[in-house]
Amino acid sequence: MIESFDALILITKNFEEQKRFYRYIMGFEVLSDYGNAIFFKVGKNQKMGLFTQDHHPEGTKTLEGAKKGISHMEFGISSKNVKKMEKNLKEKGFHAYRDNFKDADGNLFHFNIDGDIKF
Mean pLDDT value across the chain: 89
**What is the average pLDDT across 15-34?**
91
The answer to the question of residue 119 being in a domain is no
pLDDT grade for 26, boundaries at 50, 70 and 90:
confident
Q: What percent of the chain has pLDDT over 90?
A: 49
The answer to the question of residue 118 being in a domain is no
Give the long-range contacts of residues 92-97, CB within 8 A, separation 24 or more: 96/58, 97/58
Query: What's the total number of domains in the chain?
Result: 1
Provide the residue range defining the domain that includes 82: 2-113
Answer positive or negative: Cα dihedral of 102, 1, 98, 35. Answer: positive
The answer to the question of residue 98 being in a domain is yes
Distances (CA, A) of 7 to 15, 28, 48, 88, 112: 18, 14, 5, 22, 10
Return the pLDDT at 56: 87
**Confidence (pTM):** 0.75
- The strand pair at 37-42 and 2-11 is best described as unpaired
- What is the CATH number for 72? 3.10.180.10
